[in-house]
């Protein structure tokens, strides 16, 4: 990746500069096969780092993490000391490129701490152990159980990256089955088109933490023989209407998924769905889960204001 220029560092936080200097656009060339064993090893290494961060977040915010199960699908319920169970509830779908991540992910923990709403996080099966549409079906089943469990309170779905994909795809499927929609959704750096289409998939290929090329190679373990532009795989290609819930999205100028936010905004606005979005200068894919990064803090604050707005509206109805 080219060295940062002063014109770039002038417009982001000092904390962001430190991270940007480490981004290499990591890639694995095609002549090196990506095996199931390699993916499991990558997943294990990733989770070893996350386990400490998650444990520290739980201790710092005095969170309670409780195992739950809805319709045979396991997950976690995360609450903070001052959680208001009557104000609403969030269902979280973790990210991780469809191949890694767990229900105890950072965003589930941070959301519980910062919103004071209970967060119900689904433990869907990742690839290569399961390919599409297994994870999608699990998310829909968990969502139905979530709605039944929380009762008559405002509900929200939240996802990051691959989790955002499963949020939007699950709502397309839920709508087709006449399952009620949530009061709103929050999707961070949404990977809602994993076909490789989009200007940012090309332009930001080597400007993000991972290359688009590697991200798509890993996602292929989830896609397998399915059409990557089918709505179950890339929900951006689905049919949307005014029935779709109000949507908050975030991305950054280095995010390979930036184009997804712009394209989805156009698609939802065309059918009169309220869309709010935040595009952060210099930010990379998944920046939102950095707890103290200034750009991530203000992005999440905007997301929580969105939730408060539609929680209030749902309560007034």
User: How confident is the model over 102-134, as pLDDT tens digits?
Assistant: 999 999 999 999 999 999 999 999 999 999 999
Compute φ and ψ for 126, nearest 5 degrees: -90, 165
Residue 3 pLDDT: 80
Q: How far apart are CA 150 and CA 291, in angstroms?
A: 27
pLDDT at 317 over 80: no
Total domain count, the chain: 1
For the stretch 197-230, pLDDT in tens is 999 999 999 999 999 999 999 999 999 999 999 9
Using one digit for the tens of pLDDT, what is the confidence trace for 146-204?
A: 999 999 999 999 999 999 999 999 999 999 999 999 999 999 999 999 999 999 999 99
Cα of 291 vs its chain's centroid, Å: 15
Q: Please check the confidence at residue 1 and state whether its pLDDT lies above 60.
A: no
* The model's pTM: 0.97
Pairwise CA distance, residues 88 & 154, whole Å: 5
Report whether pLDDT(18) > 90.
yes
Q: Given this model, what pLDDT does residue 2 score?
A: 62
Q: What CA–CA distance (Å, rounded) separates 34 from 218?
A: 8
Token representation of residue 251: 């991305």
SS (H, E, C) 290-316: CCCCHHHHHHHHHHHHHHHHHHHHHHH
Is residue 4 included in any domain, yes or no? Answer: no
pLDDT at 23: 87
Q: Is residue 279 part of a domain?
A: yes
Domain that holds residue 267: 13-316
Does residue 212 sit within a domain? yes
Q: How many residues in the chain?
A: 317
pLDDT of residue 313: 82
Residue 61 lies in a domain: yes
Residue found by looking up tokens 């444990």 in the block: 55
Q: Percent of the chain having pLDDT more than 90?
A: 95
305: pLDDT strictly greater than 70: yes
Strands 184-188, 155-160: pairing is parallel
The residue assigned the tokens 């949530």 is 182
The answer to whether residue 3 sits within a structural domain is no
Q: Does residue 235 register a pLDDT over 70?
A: yes
pLDDT attached to residue 25: 87
Lowest mean pLDDT among 143-147, 244-248, 308-312: 308-312
pLDDT of 312: 85
Residue 8 maps to a domain: no
pLDDT of residue 24: 83
Q: What is the CATH number of the domain that holds 180?
A: 3.40.50.1820
H or E element, residue 112: helix 106-115
DSSP assigned state of 237 = G
Q: Which of 242, 267, 247, 266 is nearest to 307 (CA)?
A: 247
Q: Is 2 domain-assigned?
A: no
Q: Reply yes or no on whether the pLDDT at 267 is more than 90.
A: yes
Q: Is the pLDDT of residue 275 over 70?
A: yes
């Amino acid at each position: 990746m080219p060295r940062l220029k002063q014109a770039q560092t002038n417009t982001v936080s000092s904390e962001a500069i430190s991270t940007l200097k480490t981004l290499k656009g990591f890639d694995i060339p095609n002549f090196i096969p990506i095996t199931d064993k390699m993916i499991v090893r990558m997943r294990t290494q990733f989770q070893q780092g996350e386990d400490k961060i998650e444990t520290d977040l739980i201790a710092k915010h005095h969170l309670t993490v409780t195992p739950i199960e809805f319709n045979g699908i396991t997950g976690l319920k995360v609450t903070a000391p001052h959680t208001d169970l009557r104000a609403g509830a969030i269902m979280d779908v973790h990210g991780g490129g469809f191949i890694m991540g767990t229900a105890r992910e950072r965003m589930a923990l941070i959301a519980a701490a910062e919103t004071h709403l209970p967060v119900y996080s689904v433990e869907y099966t990742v690839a290569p152990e399961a390919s599409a549409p297994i994870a999608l079906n699990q998310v829909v089943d968990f969502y139905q159980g979530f709605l039944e469990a929380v009762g008559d309170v405002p509900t929200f779905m939240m996802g990051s990256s691959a989790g955002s994909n499963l949020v939007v795809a699950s709502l397309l499927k839920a709508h087709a089955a006449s399952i009620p929609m949530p009061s709103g959704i929050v999707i961070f750096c949404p990977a809602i088109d994993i076909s490789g289409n989009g200007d940012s998939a090309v332009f930001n290929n080597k400007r993000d933490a991972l290359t688009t090329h590697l991200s798509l190679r890993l996602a292929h373990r989830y896609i397998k023989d399915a059409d990557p532009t089918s709505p179950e795989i890339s929900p951006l290609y689905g049919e949307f209407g005014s029935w779709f819930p109000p949507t908050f999205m975030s991305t950054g100028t280095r995010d390979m998924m930036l184009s997804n936010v712009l394209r989805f905004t156009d698609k939802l606005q065309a059918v009169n769905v309220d869309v709010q979005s935040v595009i952060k200068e210099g930010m990379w894919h998944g920046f939102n889960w950095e707890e103290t990064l200034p750009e991530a803090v203000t992005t999440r604050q905007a997301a929580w204001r969105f939730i408060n707005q539609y929680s209030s509206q749902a309560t007034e109805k």
